[in-house]
Amino acid sequence: MEENFRDSIGTITKEGKRNWVFPKKPSGRYYDYRKYVSYFLLVFLIAAPFVKINGHQFLLFNVLDRRFNIFGVPFWPQDFHLMVISMIIGVIFIALFTVAYGRIFCGWMCPQTIFLEMVFRRIEYWIDGDRGAQMRLAKAPWTGKKIRKRVLKWIIFFIISFFIANVFLAYLVGSDQLLSYITDGPMAHLSTMIPLLIFTGVFYFIFAWFREQVCIIACPYGRLQGVLLDNKSIVVAYDHKRGEGENGRKKFRKNEDREALGHGDCIDCLQCVNVCPTGIDIRNGTQLECVNCTACIDECDHIMESIDKPKGLIRYASEDEITKKEKFKFTPRMKGYTAILIVLTGILVGMLFMRNEIEANILRLPGQLYERKENNIISNVYTYKLVNKTTTDIENVSFELMSHKGEIKMVSQDSFTVPAEELTEGTLFIEINASALNGDKDKLKIGVYSGDKLVETTVTQFLAPRSYN
C-alpha cells in the first residue's frame, strides 16, 4: 500500500508534463441523481435570464449600466450594502456546508463540473467512446477516422462554448438586448461580438483542454477545504478498515476465503481510479482533487455486487465513522457557523424590509458659496438625485425642510414624477433666515414626499457666514 501511495498531483507526470485523464463513463444510482440535479440546474441557468417577473428579468447583473435584478426584484448601486451582506452569508454558508459535508458543492452544483461531466464529456463518450477507446484513439496516428472524430468533436465543443458565452452575456446586458444583437447581426455590434468570441475561446479552452485542472489548480476551494474539514466531516471516503483487513488488499479469486487469509474486501481492481474525473485514488484518503462526484462510489458498488460483498466500501462517511463507528454529530464549530449564519440572515431580511422605495441624495453644488438675500435670508444651491427602486412611477414628489424653518425652491416645477426604475436629477435652492441657524455649517434634514406620504429622508450641509453664529 505504501509503495502505491501517491504524494504528487495525479495529472502531472514525473517529468512535469500533463498526464491526460481518460475517466471511465460512470453509471449507478448516484450518477443518476447527479444527472437529475444537473439537468435542473442547466435549465435554470439557461432560462433565468429569459424569465421575467413583472416585466423584470429574473436574474440580471448589468455591471456596466449598474442595473441588477435578483429574483425579479430590481436593485441599484445604492443597495451595495445588501450585496455585501449576501456575499458574507454565502461564504459562511459554504464554510458550514463544507465543514459538515465536504466538497459536495463541487461535484453536484458547480457549473464547471456540470458542464464538463454532463455536457462535454457525454458528447466525448458519444463520439470517441469510453475510456479504452479514447486511450487507443489518442495513441493512434492521424488517420481519416481520427481526423473526422476530432473535427466533429471540436466543432460541437465550439458551438456549445459559443452558446454558453451568449447565455452569460444575457446575464450581463439583458436578454432583450441580446436578442436585439442577434436580430441586428454580428456586424452591427462588433464591439460586443469581439469580447463574446474571446469568452467563447475561454470556455472552449477550459472544457476542451484545461478541464479538471480548473478544480485542481485554479479553484481555491480545494485548498479551502483543507482547513475546514476535520475527522467529523462527511466526505466521499474509502473504508480502509474494511477494505484493507489485516494483510491488505488482494486480487479476487473464486472460492477463496479472504477473511481467513486476513485480506480486506478491496480487490485492487482500480475501477475507482479509472472512473475518477480528476485521476486520483480515493483509497489514499481525502485529497484536494476530490470533488465528491461519487463516481467511485457507484463503480465500487458495482464491483462489490459482482463478488457478493456488501456495498459501501466507498461511501459518504466521516473518518470517525470509519475508525470509531461514530455517527454524524453537530459539532460546536458547526453550531458557531450556524449561529453566525442565522444572525446575518436576520440582518439581511431586516434590511430588505427596511429598504426604501426611493433613494435620495441632495448635495451642495460644488464651487458655489451661500448667497445673502433681503430680510436676513441665506440661500444655498443644491443638486438632487432621486432613484426610484420600485416598478411603478412615484408621483407628486416634493421636498420639505424637517429640521429648520425655511423654504425649498425648485428650479423647475414644485412637484414632479420619478419614473419606475429611473434616476431623476435636478437643482433646487434652500433659503433659511440667519436667525434660525446655529453656525456656519448646519446639518439639514429634508423629507421627500409623494403627495402627503413621506417616502424618504436625507441630510445635507447648509453654509452661512460666521458673523451670523
pTM equals 0.84
* Residues 293, 113 contacting (CB under 8 angstroms): yes
Q: List the strands of the sheet with 67-70, edge to edge.
A: 59-62, 67-70, 73-75
Which region among 8-12, 127-131, 187-191 has the lowest average model confidence (pLDDT)?
8-12
Q: What pLDDT was estimated at residue 438?
A: 86
Q: Of all helices (H) and strands (E), which one includes residue 160?
A: helix 144-173
Kindly state the average pLDDT of the residues 236-259.
Answer: 88
The torsion defined by the Cα of 63, 65, 70 and 75, in degrees rounded to 10, comes to 120
Q: Cα–Cα distances in Å, from 226 out to 65, 308, 399? A: 39, 36, 56
Q: What pLDDT was estimated at residue 239?
A: 95
Q: What pLDDT was estimated at residue 220?
A: 84
Roughly what angle, to the nearest 10 degrees, separates helices 144-173 and 190-205? 130
Q: Find the length of the chain.
A: 469
For residue 426, with 0-12 CB atoms within 10 Å meaning exposed, 13-18 middle and 19 or more buried, which class applies? middle
Roughly what angle, to the nearest 10 degrees, separates helices 121-128 and 131-139? 70
Beta bridge partners of 336: none
Q: What pLDDT was estimated at residue 2?
A: 47
What average pLDDT does the structure give for the chain?
A: 90
* Residues 361, 385 contacting (CB under 8 angstroms): yes
Give the start-to-end residue ranges of the domains of the chain: 8-48+102-324, 358-463
- Band (pLDDT 50/70/90 cuts) for residue 468 is very low
**Which of 412, 466, 386 has its CA nearest to residue 434?**
466
Q: What pLDDT was estimated at residue 386?
A: 93
Cell of 260: 481467513
Q: What pLDDT was estimated at residue 440?
A: 84
What percentage of the chain has pLDDT greater than the value 70? Answer: 98
* Residues 431, 407 contacting (CB under 8 angstroms): yes
Classify 358-463 by CATH class. mainly beta
Strand 453-463 and strand 235-238: pairing? unpaired
Other C-beta atoms closer than 10 Å to the C-beta of 292 total 23
- The pLDDT tens digits of the residues spanning 75-128 come to 888 788 888 999 999 889 988 988 998 888 899 999 999 999 999 999 999 999
Kindly state the average pLDDT of the residues 445-462.
Answer: 92
Q: Cα–Cα distances in Å, from 166 out to 70, 116, 177? A: 20, 18, 11
- The pLDDT tens digits of the residues spanning 346-362 come to 999 998 888 887 889 99
Which region among 62-71, 278-287, 425-434 has the lowest average model confidence (pLDDT)?
62-71
- The pLDDT tens digits of the residues spanning 177-192 come to 999 999 998 888 898 9
